[in-house]
Amino acid sequence: MIIPCIDLQNGMAVQLVRGRNRRLTVRDVFGLLDRFRGYRHLHIIDLDAALRRGSNGRLIRDLCSRARKIGMKVRVGGGIRTVTKARRIIAWGATQVIIGSAAFVGGKINRGFLRRLRSSIGRTRIIIALDTDDGQIVVRGWRVKLSVRPADVLPDLEEFAAGFLCTYVDNEGTLSGTNLEWFRSLRRTTRLPVIAAGGIRSHAEARALSRMNMDAAVGMALYLNKLR
């Protein structure tokens, strides 16, 4: 299954290359929602909140409301660091929240926070993001690299989440294709669902991921009408 992504900065949808260089901007965010309405799921990521540079909360709330009306299930991520914020986003109508940086503290699993979050909103509403650059997990908007790899922590994180969002940051936004071998290796480390992201550019790649029992989160290729 292909999942379109709406990444937000300053009230607009953007697509970045490796999380840093902006390649395109879409001002009509709700137009994107109409464009993606044929898909069952949608990812919305608040890049400003992830980088502690602001919030697109009101826009996300409205997107969640409209998405529900057209039958889309929404996952929201970016800067969700407290249980209170996670609860608020679920109240807006998001099906699940995506937890990235807050899943770690001092380079280790933030078990205290994850337990509180699980107790508050339930394990089925939690997706943990394990974004990887050069093999190592990156947090804080992909600016900080931890000394751990996904395989090191995936089994220990299973008790806190319904699944994982794993982004191959090396190829994110490049339209160069993703690393299927890397995702195969991840598939062997966890029994939970995995959503793959990072450079996916073709239906062939999405089908290959589906055969691994993974969904494909796609951004740049959809925005530029290059998903073939």
DSSP secondary structure code for residue 103 in this structure: G
Q: Kindly state the percentage of the chain with pLDDT values over 90.
A: 91
Q: Is the pLDDT reported for residue 208 higher than 90?
A: yes
CB 102 within 8 A of CB 72: no
Single-letter amino acid, residue 184: R
CATH of domain 2-223: 3.20.20.70
Predicted pLDDT of residue 36: 95
3-state secondary structure of 33: helix
Predicted pLDDT of residue 226: 87
pLDDT digit string, tens, across residues 8-66: 999 999 999 988 889 999 999 999 999 999 999 999 999 999 999 999 999 999 999 99
Domain ranges of the chain: 2-223
3-state secondary structure of 7: strand
- What is the average per-residue pLDDT within 204-214? 96
Marked catalytic residue, from 46, 48, 131, 215 = 131
For this structure, is 7 an active site residue?
A: yes
- What is the average per-residue pLDDT within 111-124? 98
For this structure, is 131 an active site residue?
A: yes
Residues in a beta bridge with 217: 3, 197
Q: Binning pLDDT at 50, 70 and 90, where does residue 185 land?
A: very high
First to last CA, the chain: 15
Predicted pLDDT of residue 19: 84
Q: CB atoms < 10 A from the CB of 139, how many?
A: 19
138 phi-psi bin (left φ>0, alpha ψ -120 to 50, beta other): beta
DSSP secondary structure code for residue 170 in this structure: G
- What is the average per-residue pLDDT within 111-126? 98
Within 13 Å, how many C-alpha atoms sit on residue 149's CB side?
A: 9
- Predicted TM-score (pTM) of the model is 0.96
Q: Is the pLDDT reported for residue 141 higher than 90?
A: no
CB 92 within 8 A of CB 61: yes
Q: Is the pLDDT reported for residue 157 higher than 90?
A: yes
Marked catalytic residue, from 7, 46, 48, 215 = 7
Q: Is the pLDDT reported for residue 143 higher than 90?
A: no
